Chain A
Amino acid sequence: MQTLLSGNLWEDYMSRCTKLVDVGRRQFLRGGSVAAAGLATAAVLPAAQAKAAPANAQVDYPSNRLANVADLTVNEPMDIEYPDADSPGALIKLGQAVEGGAGPDGDIVAFSTLCPHKGWLLAYNSADSTYNCPGHFSRFDVEAGGQQVWGHATQNLPQFTLRVDDKGDIFAEGASDLIFGRPSNVL
């Protein structure tokens, strides 16, 4: 399969990523394993510490602080990494309450931004609040729980479970669907 984006375009897309939280910029490499180049902080647990006990029936997710409500601007996704540094995502304040939205206005959502079709990094279209795949044209509606509007993925966009504390700090503590490229959301 020949891909649609050249390496340069990919870099260009990455350079347009907006705010990064808590940790340094990560460089996501296509076509191989993802290398984390930045410094890990306490908020993003190294993979080894996140490993679930094998006897448990379900995966134990880390509780990671992503941002504070005050850090968010409406309709400007903030780059996040959850449940670990190799899994890019986005935290978005939509400006209007949605089902499953967190925060005082019920409008904060977070999703994996790896396309659940073939793992391409999705690009946000702020005009209609969708994530779009430059690889194969799939698109997902963040105002409708990450529902695939049109595309090839066989699931909707994995949505991260959010908790907002009294100080407005936003924590991710789970995921609704399997994240592309891994047999377990917590590796």
Chain B
Amino acid sequence: MAYKRQIDRLPIPPKDATIHNVTCHYCIVGCGYKAYTWDRNKQGTLTDNAFGIDLSEQQGADGTWMAPSMYNVVKQNGKDVHLAVVPDHDCVVNSGLGSIRGARMAENRPSTVTGTQQQRLTDPMMWRYGVLQPTSWDDALDLVAQVTARVVTEGSEDDLVVSMFDHGGSAGGYENTWGTGKLYFESMKIKNCRIHNRPAYNSEVHSTRDMGVGELNYQYKDYELTDTIMIVGANPLETQTNLFLNHMVPGMRNGARVIFVEPRRTVSVNASEEVAGKDNVLHLQINTGTDMALFNAILTEIVAKGWVDKDFIANSTFQDGIAQAEDAGHPAALGSIEEAMKACTMSLDEAAGICGVDAADIAKAAAWIAEPKDGARRKCVTAYEKGIIWGNDNYRTIGALVNIALATGNVGREGGGVCRLGGHQEGYYRPSDAHVGRPATYVDQLLINGGGKIHHIWACDHYKTTLNASQFKRVHKKRSDMVKEAMDAAAGGTREDLINAIVDAVNKGGLFVVDVDIIDSQIGQNAHVVLAACESNEMNLTSMNGERRLRLSEKYMDPFGNSKPDCLIAAGIAQHMERVLNAMGKADYAAQFQGYDWMTEEDAFMDGYNKGNPEVTYERLRAMGNNGVLEPVVGFENGMLVGTERLYSNGEFGTGDKKARFCAAGWRGWQAEGKAEEQAKYKYWINNGRANIFWQSQFLDQDNDFIQDRFPFPFIEMNPADMADIGVGPGDLVEIHNANGATQAMVYPTATARRGETLMVFGSPAGSQGNVINPGVNELVLPDYKHTWADIRKISDAPATAKAISFKSKEYKSA
């Protein structure tokens, strides 16, 4: 039986409720919401309320409505207050639309009154007496600093391994990336570090940046002004929901055609067919991993037909052969279009054979992208995401796609752009990471191989978001257990005894683990010290969305318990490092940890982002509201921050000579090690993706009844004939297994899935797909998460909770 909220009325925000600007802290789109807070003993009425509408009348479609998920009771300045977080009709990003994620922000707040999100951490914890015990900040930070200072001074900073988020929204943002960045890249020069969702500290889109084309160059309005929308390896209705509904759909209604490059039929394809009509949607359902061959054939066709933008190429792209040769840091050469075509030229028929689609459809795609319309440039927006970012041959594949946009002059112009769609919002502001090097260290492999002695983890959970996860977990647990045993043996002794025991253990192969998070994560089970962080709206947080829209999402409630913003935790570590190092007599090194006297997150913002962008302050951002300003900010006029609609609109690109480069993206089949062999050996392709209903690793949703009722186990989508082959029905639990490891999922029958092609949820806490992914990465250590093959066998019949749910098609079906 479906989850029933059993709520038949809600408190009404009064007219004098306090209103706060909120940018949704989940996906990159960053929808605008308004948070209303008001005293516990006050309420509005049907006719006199904060929404300014007559609530005694039934509101019509698209009207203002506060769903039960948009309500909670939270602490504000120590007092319990009502909270409503409602989509903002005046925000141009979402125009009042809420997603299944963002419209639950209120109920996913920790509340001691309503009992929501009691999994949130309230206090630092330390491994003591065989368990993690709550403790004070001073006690926890002292141990972190004592052990860290000993290890990096007796050895080197390379003994400290750091996993740290680099995103905006959530608990990221300019404040917190600066706090961690200043600690690890300025006070120290940590090179063995990695990012929240991948095993190294690297860009996911090195090639487009090397080509001079930053990956977020358009604005969302371009979808409404274009002739063609090309979507590659992405499913925006599920993962950038209101970008699809509020910008792509209007674009289709204005006449835009849509091209999908995607092995899987998604709800985005279905919805686009509903809106634009099947004749205006071209789904190139390619063999997985063959995107580059397709792009090269499209480019070859465009060049052959003479549909290139000659003036743009002459004026804005590199002309003289090779600008950057292929080398260890550049998996393809970059240069002129002529140079690139030497590597990229591919016939329609050859690509059709590789990709498994009709040559005529490839030609059709080329025409939809580039055939001049009414004698002028055909406008085309190109959007891509994890399908190729976490796919085969990341560098060259993304380069091949950007080639098409450059050849047709579709960058920096109205109705154009070639952009990644994104996951989290962006919010990166750190000192230079040049010391990390390129290629960067494959950190997860370093840890597996016994490297590193201390592991600082900032809101990363490798258990759910790494490849070769089965082995990683075994080794990480074993190494951290060595330290736990040493700490247990030192129980009852002095602080010095404890530190000596830890240092001795890490010198024997153990790993001292410090985990900073908002919840008790899976990798946090290996931690010796846990530091409790808070999220956006429990602190002020600035981030930028997928069109570079910068907003301040305002604090409207207190951090839960004694938790703190990450930037202030980083400052605390730095201050304790300075004290400990001084006590060790290392005054010079200690001095490097000065400059963290921040009392608030705004202090961290002013120390970091504001120094590079002096026009931008909290006060000015607050005044810009939920529409914010498009970065880069170029001025402040008439009380408004002045932004940038599109990058490269002057035809100058992000290279030393301002000329964009083409990528010599030569097709070479499977790039990462072991993929071809695995494909030959196992029966099922185990693709992974995101689902509309969950946010990323489900860190909050794992404690949300509405969500867990819908999917009590993570699903694996399978063709019904494949299900018959292994004798399973809807809801049955299966094991997915190969030489890398094993994991589990609940079978969801999916008629549109091709035979032998399955899809699992990425990052699930109850069945990590990473367990079965091999360690293969590209030259720059980008993981190919998307390419895993395995066998599948039944574990059990559907558990009672799985039997009760719907297994119908996820595709909208009109009456």
Contact = CB atoms under 8 A, between A and B. Distances in A.
A99 to B, nearest CB: 5
Nearest to B97: A1
A93 interface: no
A149 interface: yes
A184 B9 contact: yes
Contacts of B104: 154
B2 A58 contact: no
A144 B2 contact: yes
A151 B100 contact: yes
A125 interface: yes
B815 A16 contact: yes
A177 B6 contact: yes
Given A130-B808, A149-B806, A176 B813 contact: no
Given A137-B237, A155-B706, A176-B6, A125 B67 contact: no
B379 to A, nearest CB: 19
Contacts of A180: 59, 65, 67
B274 to A, nearest CB: 7
Contacts of A150: 267, 692-693, 810-812
B61 A147 contact: no
Interface string A75-99: 0000000000011000000000001
B42 interface: no
A186 B100 CA distance: 25
A146 interface: yes
A3 B57 CA distance: 22
B250 interface: yes
Among B62, B66, B103, B810, chain A packs the most CB atoms within 10 A around the CB of B62
A100 B6 CA distance: 14
Interface in B438-469: none
A16 B811 CA distance: 22
Given A137-B271, A155-B5, A181 B813 contact: no
Interface in A104-143: 114, 116-121, 123-128, 130, 132-139, 141, 143
A78 to B, nearest CB: 15
A141 B806 contact: yes
Contacts of A72: none
A156 interface: yes
A184 B8 contact: yes
B494 interface: no
A59 interface: yes
A159 B2 CA distance: 10
Given A134-B814, A149-B809, A181 B58 contact: yes
B720 to A, nearest CB: 14
A181 B59 contact: yes
Contacts of B275: 4
A41 interface: no
B61 A121 contact: yes
A116 B67 contact: yes
B61 A31 contact: yes
A187 B95 CA distance: 27
A22 B9 CA distance: 27
B58 A86 contact: yes
Interface in B1-35: 1-10, 12
B260 to A, nearest CB: 16
B710 interface: yes
Interface in A1-47: 1-4, 13, 16, 29-34, 47
A155 B69 contact: yes
B256 to A, nearest CB: 13
A33 B60 contact: yes
A13 B815 CA distance: 9
Contact of A149 (B96, B706, B709, B808): B808
A34 B237 CA distance: 29
B523 interface: no
B805 interface: yes
Contact of B249 (A4, A61, A126): A4
Contacts of B693: 150
B804 to A, nearest CB: 7
B373 interface: no
A119 B67 contact: no
A185 interface: yes
Contact of B2 (A123, A130, A145, A175): A145
A118 B95 CA distance: 12
Given A152-B98, A153-B100, A31 B9 contact: no
B812 A119 contact: no
Contact of A185 (B9, B63, B249): B9
Contact of A182 (B59, B95, B709): B59
A151 B97 CA distance: 13
B46 interface: yes
Contacts of A136: 97, 245
Nearest to A130: B808
Contacts of A164: none
B7 A177 contact: yes
Given A128-B809, A152-B692, A181-B65, A1 B246 contact: yes
Contacts of A118: 61-62, 65, 97
B10 A145 contact: no
Among B55, B58, B63, B68, chain A packs the most CB atoms within 10 A around the CB of B58
A131 B805 CA distance: 16
Contact of A187 (B5, B56, B237, B809): B56
B317 interface: no
Given A150-B267, A152-B692, A178 B250 contact: no
A147 B4 CA distance: 9
Given A33-B59, A118-B61, A137-B267, A149 B810 contact: yes
Nearest to A87: B58
Interface string B401-427: 000000000000000000000000000
A127 B57 contact: no
B95 to A, nearest CB: 4
Nearest to B249: A4
B253 interface: yes
A121 B812 CA distance: 14
Given A99-B804, A152-B100, A183 B4 contact: no
B805 A144 contact: yes
Interface string B222-246: 0000000000000001000100011
B4 A176 contact: yes
A64 interface: no
B207 interface: no
Contacts of B59: 33, 119, 180-182
A63 interface: no
A16 to B, nearest CB: 7
B99 interface: yes
B8 A59 contact: yes
Contacts of B805: 144, 147
A144 B806 contact: yes
A128 B46 CA distance: 39
Contacts of A146: 2
Contact of A183 (B2, B10, B95, B246): B10
Contacts of A117: 98
B8 A147 contact: no
30 contacts: A3-B61, A13-B815, A33-B57, A33-B60, A58-B8, A59-B8, A117-B98, A119-B61, A120-B61, A125-B813, A127-B813, A136-B97, A137-B271, A144-B805, A149-B809, A150-B810, A151-B100, A152-B100, A152-B692, A153-B67, A154-B98, A154-B706, A155-B5, A155-B69, A175-B8, A176-B5, A178-B9, A181-B60, A182-B65, A184-B10
Given A118-B62, A149-B808, A152-B97, 6 more contacts: A13-B815, A31-B62, A136-B97, A141-B806, A154-B104, A178-B67
Interface of B: 1-10, 12, 46, 54-63, 65-70, 95-100, 103-104, 107, 237, 241, 245-246, 249-250, 253, 267, 270-271, 274-275, 692-693, 706, 709-710, 804-806, 808-815
**Which 10 residue pairs spanning A and B have beta carbons closest together?**
A145-B2, A181-B59, A184-B9, A147-B2, A154-B69, A137-B812, A86-B58, A141-B806, A150-B810, A176-B4
